[in-house]
């Protein structure tokens, strides 16, 4: 799993400029999922969802809302369940969330998390990875070496194994590049996204422009774009090399034909699309993620297959458990993707919910819920006031993949709008019935109810400079508690 890699930053997704040969080979051998989403496009919430197969409103885990509960970890997390069934577990890289009263290391036989919550690109600055620092000074390839060693040790122990590698790349800071990758893309001029800059920004409702994604937009302005994207791609190419180390070791140990491989990311990244920086918002640039699954024992292997089935990170834990022959807990919201891997014409759902309830100062102005199908996406922004009108968006993802034309008032799309609004209401009812018993998520039941007029909603806003300072201090303290480090200006999770 990478960090902040949008779905298009992969050769197998039709990107002819990025160099990802190992991942492209994996895609040729497995199944490429063209419609995979992070159901909460932010690292802390996404990682708890990946581990447990539950939507964020069930885990209660996100910045400023809470940690993952001990019971959920012990009963739902795929590493815990695998260990109970005799698996040897290894984890290395970015961890990114906390568990109340539980040390997550207990579920793993080999442990290599990066320093604090975010980690460092310099291997020597991450104590758990220091042994690799001399040969692999950049942590990306050091994680590949960790994976290589874990596989060899697992084969020698004659145990089934599960290796979870969580790369820091291509998360900020984008300019700390492995020397082996610094010459990549030297003479490349990258095209700009269709929604790049002011025109893409102009088409967004104001709610989407009230958060950090707009505030830090200059990092991907036209003057910065070429250099920034080069670094972003260099970091991803470094991950590709580390993945190659893992694939080579599977071949060397003669277990490649007995090992299932999943490649994905925690969330996407705007990279200047819609004139924005970062992730979090439910647009495809920020929420759609790469997903490749290779299962050597299924009929799809080696056939270069692709699927448009709409899936999400709630499905990863059920898929892993199903592959191991372990019963999937009924509380998981996701479904095993192995039926799709075996037959890409199948699907596990018609629509998927995407949650945006994070703001760096915990205001409600940027929050909303989205419903996506294979072909359409509906977004409902929950906030409105006397100056900001209520906002809904409807996009045809096939005809308008850049999400530039809002079809909300188009009579031709009325049928799709009705269907997705109904799906939204059903998703909201599921939230209300099953959400964690927390003031944050109970309150969201009201503000995400599209049938309640905005004047009756109990929004959380910040009107004074003093309140802004207090919320910023709270955010900084939570980050320090989680990571043991000073809150960096560039880091939004």
CATH of region 11-352: 3.40.720.10
Retrieve residue 112's tokens. Answer: 């290599």
Of 17, 50, 48, 26, whose CA–CA distance to 289 is shortest? 50
pLDDT the model gives residue 476: 67
What percent of the chain has a predicted confidence (pLDDT) above 70? 93
The per-residue pLDDT for range 308-325, each reduced to its tens digit, is 999 999 999 999 999 999
Q: Mean pLDDT score of the chain, rounded to an integer?
A: 93
CA distances 27 to 38, 54, 260, 310, 344, Å, are 20, 26, 13, 18, 13
For residue 470, is pLDDT > 70? no
The torsion defined by the Cα of 211, 214, 215 and 218, in degrees rounded to 10, comes to 160
For residue 60, is pLDDT > 50? yes
Retrieve residue 465's tokens. Answer: 């400079």
Give the architecture-level CATH label for domain 356-478. Answer: 2-Layer Sandwich (3.30)
pLDDT the model gives residue 360: 83
What residues have CB less than 8 Å from 194, skipping those under 6 apart?
A: 200, 401, 402, 404
Whether 32 and 307 have beta carbons less than 8 Å apart is answered as yes
Question: Cα separation of 296 and 247, whole Å?
Answer: 13
Per-residue pLDDT band for 490 (boundaries 50, 70, 90) equals very low
Per-residue three-class SS string for the chain: CECCCCCCCCHHHCCCCCCCHHHHHHHHHCEEECCEECCCCCHHHHHHHHHHCCCHHHHCCECCCECECHHHHHHHCHHHHHHHCCCEEEEEECCCCCECCCCHHHHCCEEEECCCCCCCCEHHHCHHHHHHCCCCCEHHHHHHHHHHHHHHHHHHHCCCEEEEEECCCCCCCCCCCCHHHCCCCCCCCCCCCCCEHHHHHHCCCHHHHCCHHHHCHHHHCCCCHHHHHHHHHHHHHHHHHHHHHHHHHHHHCCCHHHCCEEEEECCCCCCCECCCCCCCCCCHHHHECCEEEECCCCCCCCCCEEECCCEEHHHHHHHHHHHCCCCCCCCCCCCCCHHHHHCCCCCCCCCEEEEECCCCCCCCCCCEEEEECCCEEEEEECCCCCCCCCEEEEEECCCCCCCCCCCCCCHHHHHHHHHHHHHHHHHHHHHHHHCCCCHHHHHHHHHCCCCCCHHHCCCCCCCCHHHHHHHHHHHHHHHHHHHCCCCCCCCCC
When pLDDT is averaged across residues 51-71 and rounded to a whole number, the result is 96
Residue 363, CB-side half-sphere exposure with 13 Å CA sphere? 22
pLDDT the model gives residue 491: 40
Question: Cα separation of 159 and 201, whole Å?
Answer: 52
Whether 159 and 255 have beta carbons less than 8 Å apart is answered as no
CA distances 113 to 110, 120, 312, Å, are 10, 11, 25
Per-residue pLDDT band for 463 (boundaries 50, 70, 90) equals low
Q: Which residue has the higher pLDDT, 40 or 218?
A: 40
When pLDDT is averaged across residues 27-31 and rounded to a whole number, the result is 95
CA distances 384 to 364, 398, 433, Å, are 10, 30, 25
Question: Cα separation of 123 and 105, whole Å?
Answer: 20
The per-residue pLDDT for range 164-214, each reduced to its tens digit, is 999 999 999 999 999 999 999 999 999 999 999 989 999 999 999 999 999
- 24-37 per-residue burial string, b: 16 or more CB within 10 A, e: under 16: bbbbebbbbbbbbb
Residue 382, CB-side half-sphere exposure with 13 Å CA sphere? 29
Domain limits, the chain: 11-352, 356-478
Per-residue pLDDT band for 405 (boundaries 50, 70, 90) equals very high
CA distances 220 to 10, 224, 274, 290, 487, Å, are 19, 6, 10, 21, 22
């Amino acid at each position: 799993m990478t960090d902040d890699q949008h779905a298009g930053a992969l050769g197998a997704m039709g990107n002819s400029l990025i160099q990802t040969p190992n991942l492209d080979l994996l895609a040729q051998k497995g199944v490429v999922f063209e419609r995979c989403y992070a159901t909460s496009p932010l690292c802390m919430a996404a990682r708890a969802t990946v581990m447990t197969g539950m939507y964020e409103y069930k885990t209660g885990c996100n910045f400023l809302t809470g940690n993952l509960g001990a019971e959920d970890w012990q009963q739902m997390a795929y590493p815990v369940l695998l260990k109970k069934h005799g698996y040897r577990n290894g984890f290395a890289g970015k961890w990114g969330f906390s568990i109340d009263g539980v040390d997550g290391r207990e579920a793993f036989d080999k442990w290599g998390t990066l320093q604090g919550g975010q980690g460092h690109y310099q291997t020597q600055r991450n104590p758990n990875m220091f042994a690799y620092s001399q040969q692999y000074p950049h942590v990306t390839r050091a994680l590949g070496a960790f994976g290589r060693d874990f596989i060899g040790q697992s084969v020698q122990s004659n145990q089934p194994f599960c290796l979870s590698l969580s790369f820091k790349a291509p998360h900020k800071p984008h300019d700390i590049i492995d020397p082996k990758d610094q010459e990549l893309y030297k003479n490349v001029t990258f095209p700009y996204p269709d929604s790049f800059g002011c025109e893409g920004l102009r088409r967004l409702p104001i709610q989407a422009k009230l958060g950090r994604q707009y505030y830090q937009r200059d990092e991907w302005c036209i003057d910065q774009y070429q250099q920034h994207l080069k670094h972003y791609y260099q970091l991803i190419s470094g991950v590709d090399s580390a993945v190659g180390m893992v694939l080579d070791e599977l071949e060397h140990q003669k277990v490649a034909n007995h090992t299932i491989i999943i490649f994905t990311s925690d969330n996407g990244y705007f990279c200047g699309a819609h004139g924005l920086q970062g992730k979090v918002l439910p647009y495809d640039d920020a929420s759609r993620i790469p997903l490749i699954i290779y299962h050597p024992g299924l009929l799809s292997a080696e056939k270069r297959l692709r699927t448009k089935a709409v899936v999400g990170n709630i499905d990863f834990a059920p898929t892993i458990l199903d592959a191991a022959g372990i019963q999937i807990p009924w509380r998981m919201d996701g479904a095993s993707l192995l039926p799709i891997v075996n037959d890409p014409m199948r699907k596990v759902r018609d629509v998927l919910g995407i949650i945006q309830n994070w703001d760096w100062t915990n205001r409600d102005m940027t929050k909303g819920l989205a419903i996506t199908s294979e072909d359409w996406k509906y977004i409902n922004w929950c906030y409105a006031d006397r100056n900001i009108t209520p906002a809904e968006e409807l996009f045809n993802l096939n005809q308008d993949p850049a999400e530039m034309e809002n079809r909300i008032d188009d009579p031709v799309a009325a049928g799709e709008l009705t269907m997705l609004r109904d799906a939204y209401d059903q998703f909201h009812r599921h939230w209300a019935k099953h959400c964690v018993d927390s003031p944050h998520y109970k309150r969201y039941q009201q503000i995400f109810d599209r049938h309640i007029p905005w004047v009756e909603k109990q929004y959380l806003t910040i009107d004074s400079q003093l309140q802004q300072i207090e919320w910023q201090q709270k955010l900084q303290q939570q980050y320090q508690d989680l990571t043991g480090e000073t809150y960096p200006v560039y880091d939004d999770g």
